[in-house]
Amino acid sequence: MASHLPPKPTAQYEETAGGGLAAGAPHAPRGMMRWLLTTNHKEIGTLYLIFSLTMFFIGGIFAMVIRAELFQPGLQLVQPEFFNQMTTMHGLIMVFGAVMPAFVGLANWMVPLQIGAPDMALPRLNNFSFWLLPVAFLMLLSTLVMPGGAPDFGWTFYAPLSTTYAPPSTTFFIFSLHLAGISSILGAINIIATILNLRAPGMRMMDMPLFVWTWLITAFLLIAVMPVLAGVITMMLLDINFGTSFFNAAGGGDPVLFQHLFWFFGHPEVYIMILPAFGIVSVIIPTFARKRLFGYASMVYATASIAILSFLVWAHHMFVVGLPLVAELFFMYSTMLIAVPTGVKVFNWITTLFRGSISFEPPMLFALAFVVLFTIGGFSGLMLAISPADFQYHDTYFVVAHFHYVLVPGAVFAIMAGVYYWLPKWTGHYPHLRLSQWHFWLSVIGVNLTFFPMHFAGLAGMPRRIPDYALQFADFNMVTSLGAFLFGASQLLFVAVVILCIRGGEKAPARAWEGGEDLEWSVPSPAPLHTFETPPDFKPQQH
Amino acid sequence: MAANGDQQARQTGVRRTVSRTLVVLAGMFVFAFALVPLYDVFCQVTGLNGKTSGSAQSLVHADMDTTRTITVQFITRGSPGLPWKLETDTRQLRVHPGESREVVFRFRNQGEGPSLARAVPSVSPSEASLHLRKITCFCFQEQRLAGGERLEAPLVFQLTPDLPDDIKTVTLVYTLYPVEQTLARRYLGFISEGDQA
Ligand code: HEM
Ligand SMILES: [Cu+2]
């Protein structure tokens, strides 16, 4: 495959247009203190990414425990109570610890570079929002060794499982989620302030790269729903410790209210995890198709409509709680409506590829896999949106298959595509080609082996969140577990690629990819600590 | 444009953006809590969550609609950790809309000591809850029973004649819950490990 790739751009015909090449600040602290106190968007971005990768592996180990137990029917390795803690912690860590911080890390690194800003608008706040995360997740992980064990009520923490019947560690879980939430909110404020105020002179909103656009919209979603999450967990805290009855039927409360509040946060939250991914893919595909993105404006409007619609569909997670018929119909149709702007996006990516001169560098491989596999997840979502059908599918492995398709070869592949795309900018070296290709192909095979059979198991009626299952599901589960081990192991290759790339490798020029047109490619590779201290000259392209 | 003035403009811009987002944030946090009473009002008006009125209602004087007969079922449930029983001999009744009927329920505390509990009602289908009137119900207050004590308590109810035509069966579920939600009890229970049942 390597031989089919076009030659890399050479340094000769590249020049560095970007702002100052100022050397590192003269009085910067060294060693640990440098990382603890840094206010530099690139260093903070790196911290976020390292944190996210760590969480990805911790959450991944929990997933391996789950898949090892489910390898065969019967109880072999762990007790059901511990199994429940594993599913819960896996979900919480992947959502709040791996995917969200990875996107914030990419935003920290790339948003200022893509809009020609010297740094984030609020650098010190930036430092604070990062360091909240290790505290939050250390606390969350510490619940594993507490008496009564870690949270065991699923990542959706439905009351009264998470209140009346919750383990004592739940208060720590609430506190750590509060911290992670505050971190996201502060990050979002920072990103909005940066994008709205720090663009290079001459860059209008409709000139911004799509990664910036999608992050701006994501940040608004965060501002709108993270306070609702904070409200819900505060109500849980009050119910558990202070005898209120928000969700307690005995005292006049209503557990179904919990689900409404949770999903009012929860559905926009799933878009928080996918909109930045759309942005990454929308900058990578044009680069390697060597064409302008097809339908730039429609991409922006589609993203905005998805964000707005995402507030009107929450009860598609609650079709079976006993909604009245009108509500079933409303949420069914509004959910299906979201597929329209999503379809516009997929259409635009494919049209961008049409008649492009495409080459298949590692970032492009991941981006293309994203388009195909995310679409599969979108289709299973549409099946779930059919309310009468969801009575059958709900709480089965079909739902698990759906959201893993949109989140793993969706969000996670997009993050990896972004990492491969920008590694030359961060380190000054291209990632090792052969290893990257191995990583890609093993991941694609692993992901599909893991999650595709889940569709069948779910349609056949296998419930989710169980440590043991009926014999008829044994074959599907064995394939799934083997796929999961393969996928898990191949992520070690990813770590190897990143470490090798930091250490050395083929040197990358400023414009590391021939088709890269955004501002980040105008600063040297590796990007110096300080860039665009004087704003760059921005010439709008005709989108 | 002077670079300095530019810097200043950006600073004010950032400050303005931050204060606006903070306002939205605070608004959304309050909104989350406001949703709780809004949800209750919404459910009361539409009857969506199957809750019935928490206090006695008067009979609606209307003619009995003898052309329709509705099956009313009664289900009782206990809670783990509460040594009480709630029973009735009337599993099922056939009533006409407009008719008022009495059903007797029996409470029994099978534990050693006295305790407090409350029977919380729920109606399904939930649309029926708007048309179920309770003239007398033990569910309006909590009950205190000494160890081994029994209590007979009546429910007098009426289905109003405007009950939608498509409803043929109404199920009324009473779930017994312990009343012990005080701060002190929670923590004492927590320490003595008795609470997690
Ligand atoms: C065309 C777009 C989509 C549609 C129509 C759709 C529809 C649905 C429906 C109806 C459910 C509920 C199924 C049930 O519980 O019975 C569901 C669950 C879920 N979806 Fe989607 N979805 C879409 C896209 C996405 C995306 C982009 C993400 C995230 C990146 C996502 C993440 C999830 C998650 C995490 C759950 C399960 C939550 C849980 O119960 O644990 N979905 N989806
Ligand atoms: Cu949803």
pLDDT tens, chain B, 197 aa long: 445 557 788 889 999 999 999 999 999 999 999 998 888 888 777 767 667 776 777 777 777 888 889 999 999 988 877 888 888 888 889 999 888 888 999 988 888 888 888 888 888 887 888 888 888 888 877 888 888 888 888 888 888 888 888 889 999 888 888 876 444 444 444 433 333 32
- Which of the four pLDDT bands, split at 50, 70 and 90, describes residue A22? very low
Distances (CA, A) of B133 to A284, A322, B101, B137, B155: 64, 22, 11, 10, 11
Q: Does A241 touch chain B (CB under 8 A)?
A: yes
Mutation to test the B interface, candidates A81, A146, A197, most B Cβ within 10 Å: A197
Residues forming a β-bridge with A518? none
Tell me, yes or no, if A109 is annotated catalytic.
Answer: no
What is the 8-class DSSP label of residue A315?
G
Q: Are residues A304 and A220 in the same domain?
A: no
Closest-CA residue to B73 (of B166, B165, B174, B143): B174
Looking at residue B81, what is its pLDDT? 79
Cβ neighbours of residue A297 closer than 8 Å, sequence gap 6 or more: A206, A543
Determine the 3-state secondary structure of A237 from DSSP. helix
Looking at residue A11, what is its pLDDT? 52
Element (H, E) at A385: helix A362-385
Mean pLDDT score, A135-144? 97
* pLDDT over 70 at A209, yes or no: yes
Alpha helices in A143-254 (DSSP H): 170-197, 210-242
A93 vs A326 pLDDT, higher one? A93
Q: Are residues A133 and A228 in the same domain?
A: yes
The domain of A288 spans 274-527
**What does the block give as tokens for B55?**
């206090």
pLDDT in tens, A243-264: 888 998 777 788 999 999 999 9
In a domain, A31, yes or no: no
All structural domains of chain B with their residue ranges: 1-46, 70-196
A216 vs B88 pLDDT, higher one? A216
Asked whether A406 lines ligand 1 (CB < 6 A), one says yes
Residue B178's closest chain A neighbor by CA?
Answer: A250
Q: Are residues A231 and A281 in the same domain?
A: no
CB-closest option in B17, B24, B179 to A197: B17
Residue A161's closest chain B neighbor by CA?
Answer: B196
Looking at residue A538, what is its pLDDT? 85
Looking at residue B11, what is its pLDDT? 87
Q: Does B195 touch chain A (CB under 8 A)?
A: no
Q: Are residues A284 and A159 in the same domain?
A: no
Q: Are residues A461 and A507 in the same domain?
A: yes
* pLDDT over 60 at A15, yes or no: no
Mutation to test the B interface, candidates A257, A265, A314, A325, most B Cβ within 10 Å: A257
CA A142–ligand 1 middle distance (angstroms): 30
Q: Does B126 touch chain A (CB under 8 A)?
A: yes
CA A157–ligand 1 middle distance (angstroms): 17
In a domain, A3, yes or no: no
Looking at residue A17, what is its pLDDT? 40
Determine the Cα angle at A55 with ends B22 and A183, to 5°.
10
Q: Are residues A186 and A295 in the same domain?
A: no
Looking at residue B122, what is its pLDDT? 84
Strand arrangement, sheet containing B115-124: B92-95, B70-77, B169-178, B115-124, B143-145
Q: Are residues A453 and A513 in the same domain?
A: yes
In a domain, A104, yes or no: yes
Q: Are residues A283 and A185 in the same domain?
A: no
HSE at residue B47, side-chain half, CA atoms within 13 A, is 16
Among A42-56, A186-200, A524-538, the least confident range: A524-538
Instruction: Quote the number of domains for chain A.
Output: 2
In a domain, A23, yes or no: no
Residues A117, A532: Cα–Cα separation, whole Å: 6
- Pairing mode of beta strands B115-124, B150-159: unpaired
Looking at residue A13, what is its pLDDT? 41
Residues A348, A340: Cα–Cα separation, whole Å: 12
Among A43-52, A214-223, B77-86, the least confident range: B77-86
Contact A288, A263 (CB under 8 A): no
Mean pLDDT score, A59-72? 97
Residues on chain A touching B188 (C-beta within 8 angstroms):
none
CATH of residue A113: 1.20.210.10
In a domain, A141, yes or no: yes
Pocket test for ligand 1, best of A214, A406, A412 (most atoms within 8 A of CB): A406
Contact B66, B99 (CB under 8 A): no
Looking at residue B32, what is its pLDDT? 92
Looking at residue A543, what is its pLDDT? 53
Q: Which CATH architecture has domain B70-196?
A: Sandwich (2.60)
Output the average pLDDT for chain A.
93
Q: Are residues A288 and A429 in the same domain?
A: yes
Q: Are residues A332 and A480 in the same domain?
A: yes
The closest-lying atom of ligand 1 relative to the alpha carbon of residue A342 is 1
In a domain, A532, yes or no: no
Among A94-108, A126-140, A204-218, B46-60, the least confident range: B46-60
* pLDDT over 90 at A281, yes or no: yes
**What does the block give as tokens for A181?**
């939430």
Residues A166, A150: Cα–Cα separation, whole Å: 10
Asked whether A376 lines ligand 1 (CB < 6 A), one says no
Residues B67, A236: Cα–Cα separation, whole Å: 48
Among A49-53, A211-215, A482-486, B172-176, the least confident range: B172-176
Residues in chain B: 197
Among A33-37, A45-49, A369-373, A431-435, the least confident range: A33-37
In a domain, A536, yes or no: no
